[in-house]
Amino acid sequence: MNHVHLIGYLGNDPEIQESKGTTFARLSLAVTTSYQDKAGTRHQRTDWVPVVAFRGLAKSLQALQKGARIAVYGRLQVQSFEKDGERRTSTEVIAASITFLTRAGRGASSAEEGAEGQTVEPEEPFETNDDIPY
């Protein structure tokens, strides 16, 4: 099974684009983990997770801005590629649904504040197609 559930804050406004007739959005999600070391000192670690959403789900993210807290459900996708003669890999989350947990982000209007707790799902079933149009 390949399922990912993340809750975090947007590091930037979503980048919504279109390629080959398909709308997609790129998000950078800050996910923080707290832990305690052997000495009892608390630490926090923030990981920046790239998230991609497609079609109607991508379009629904236009109201979100940097700082919005969201929950993402999706799957991990790892891609390998060659750059400058060196083999590299990238990992990203392909979103199946996104829930708005707080206001849309900085400067949110009161209409957008009403979106809290709203789950946005794609118009089509969750795809497992590895042919991404970008």
Where do the domains of the chain lie? 4-32+43-120
DSSP lists the bridge partners of residue 56 as none
The yes-or-no verdict on residue 116 having pLDDT over 80 is no
pLDDT digits (tens, 9 = 90+) for 25-66: 999 999 999 999 999 999 999 999 999 999 999 999 998 999
The overall average pLDDT reported for the chain is 84
Chain centroid to Cα 46, Å, comes to 15
* pTM of the predicted protein model: 0.74
- Read off the pLDDT of each residue in 113-119 and give the average, rounded to a whole number: 50
| Residue given tokens 């900085």 in the structure block | 106
List all residues 6 or more positions away from 72 whose beta carbon is below 8 Å from its beta carbon.
4, 5, 6, 7, 8, 27, 29, 51, 93, 95, 97, 98
| Residue given tokens 């979100």 in the structure block | 64
The region that residue 41 occupies, defined by phi over 0 for left and psi between -120 and 50 for alpha, beta otherwise, is beta
Q: Which CATH number fits domain 4-32+43-120: 2.60.40.1220, 1.20.1440.20, 2.40.50.140, 3.30.450.20?
A: 2.40.50.140
pLDDT digits (tens, 9 = 90+) for 71-88: 999 999 999 999 899 999
In whole angstroms, what is the distance from residue 90 CA to residue 96 CA? 19
Q: Which of 37-46, 97-106, 107-116, 125-134 has the lowest mean pLDDT?
A: 107-116
Residue 104 confidence (pLDDT): 57
In whole angstroms, what is the distance from residue 68 CA to residue 60 CA? 14
The region that residue 11 occupies, defined by phi over 0 for left and psi between -120 and 50 for alpha, beta otherwise, is alpha
List all residues 6 or more positions away from 44 whose beta carbon is below 8 Å from its beta carbon.
32, 33, 34
